[in-house]
């Protein structure tokens, strides 16, 4: 068994003539929290979306543990159920209650029976602090609450890794904390996570490794201290200078 949960080798991705990813290599070990930083348009989202094949890589290989995701023979749906993904825009199913959102894929994909799916949904919703909002529809929840439901929905599938793509960017500032707290707890509980974010505080506190991306390549990576306090690359310095 591979020591890496996620392994990306020479990943290229083009949209037509536009080459967005120009050879990305990244390895994530079990329990690691990798925070991906980078300016807008540098290809952070595209990289995450390649991992569960929401985007089809142009070239390169991606593995989830021992399974090669990029192998055309791989059943992508079986891989996806092991990769939790949380989006910037929540993407809750608006016609279902919070609890039904968390139950749907458990029932249809994992074929859990109703009682078990229900029990796990309640457990996960309580875990993200929404024990009292189970029967609310997404429209009746604040953005922060919706995002926490989305996290619970992904967690209920028992994923081996969680991908977070700027999950707090669409939130009002006062709602960001609640979501970040949930992610911190998750990290503390040993979840392997790949997090694209602009929250530098979160990166410093929680990341086991920080990756800086620019123009489709990984420019620099290291511990939060290394990247934030002693950046080697000019581009990294430039970027951090703008942010803080």
Partner 1 sequence: MDRSPRAVQRLLLVLALAAAMLFAVVAPALALVNPQVTLDQEQGGSPTRFTFVAITDKDASITGMDFTFPPGFDLSSVSFDTVTLEGLVRRPVNVTGAAAGETLSLKFAPSVEPSSTLRVQIHDVLTTNEGGTFPLKIAYSTESTATGTRVLSHRTDDTVKFSYTSLSFAEGISHNLDKNSFVAGWNNVKALGMFFKPQLVVTSIPTVITGWYLALVWIAFAFPIAIVGGLSFAFMKMSKIPPLRWIAAAYINVIRGTPLFLQIFVAFIGLRIAGFRVDDNVTAVAVLAMNSSAYLAEIFRAGIQSINKGQFEAASSLGMNYAQSMQYVIIPQTVKRVLPTMTSEFILLFKDTALFAAVGRPELMYQAQNIVANTGNMTPFVVIAAFYLIVTIPLINVVGRLEARLAVSEHGQSPTEKTKRRGGRLMNELAQSVDPYRATAPDSIHDDNERG
Ligand X SMILES: Nc1ncnc2c1ncn2[C@@H]1O[C@H](COP(=O)(O)OP(=O)(O)OP(=O)(O)O)[C@@H](O)[C@H]1O
CB of 159 to partner 1, least distance (A): 10
Residues that bind ligand X (CB under 6 A): 15, 18, 20, 38, 40-46
* Contact (Cβ atoms closer than 8 angstroms) between residue 130 and residue 178: no
Strand ranges inside the chain, DSSP E: 4-15, 18-29, 33-37, 59-64, 67-68, 83-86, 161-165, 193-196, 209-214, 217-222
CB of 74 to ligand X, least distance (A): 22
Number of H helices, E strands in the chain: 9, 10
Q: What span, in angstroms and rounded, lies between the C-alpha atoms of 152 and 167?
A: 13
Q: Name the residue nearer to ligand X (CB basis): 45 or 97.
A: 45
CB of 133 to ligand X, least distance (A): 28
Q: Name the residue nearer to ligand X (CB basis): 5 or 21.
A: 21
CB of 44 to Mg ion, least distance (A): 5
Q: From the list ligand X, partner 1, Mg ion, none, which binds 42 (C-beta under 5 to 8 Å, kind-based)?
A: ligand X
Q: From the list Mg ion, ligand X, partner 1, none, which binds 67 (C-beta under 5 to 8 Å, kind-based)?
A: none
Which of 68, 65, 101 minimizes the C-alpha distance to 86? 101
Q: Name the residue nearer to Mg ion (CB basis): 86 or 134.
A: 86
């Amino acid at each position: 068994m591979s020591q890496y949960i996620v392994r990306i080798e020479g990943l290229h991705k083009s949209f037509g003539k536009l080459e967005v990813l120009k050879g990305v290599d990244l390895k994530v070990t079990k329990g690691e929290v990798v925070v991906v930083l980078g300016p807008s348009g540098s290809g952070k989202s595209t990289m995450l979306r390649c991992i569960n094949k929401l985007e089809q890589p142009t070239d390169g290989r991606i593995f989830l543990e021992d399974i090669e995701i990029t192998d055309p023979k791989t059943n992508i749906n079986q891989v996806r159920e092991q990769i939790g993904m949380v989006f910037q825009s929540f993407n809750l199913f608006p016609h279902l209650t919070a609890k039904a959102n968390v139950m749907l894929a458990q029932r249809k994909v994992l074929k859990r029976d109703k009682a078990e799916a229900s029990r796990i949904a309640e457990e996960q919703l309580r875990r993200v602090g929404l024990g009292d909002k189970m029967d609310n529809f997404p429209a009746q929840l604040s953005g922060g609450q919706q995002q926490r439901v989305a996290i619970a929905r992904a967690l209920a599938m028992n994923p081996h890794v969680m991908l977070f793509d700027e999950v707090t960017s669409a939130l009002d500032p006062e709602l960001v904390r609640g979501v970040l707290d949930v992610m911190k707890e998750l990290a503390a509980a040993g979840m392997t996570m790949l997090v694209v974010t602009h929250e530098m505080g979160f990166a410093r506190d929680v990341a086991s490794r920080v990756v800086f991306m620019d123009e489709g390549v990984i420019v620099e990576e290291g511990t939060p201290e290394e990247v934030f306090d002693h950046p080697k690359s000019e581009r990294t310095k430039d970027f951090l200078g703008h942010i803080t």
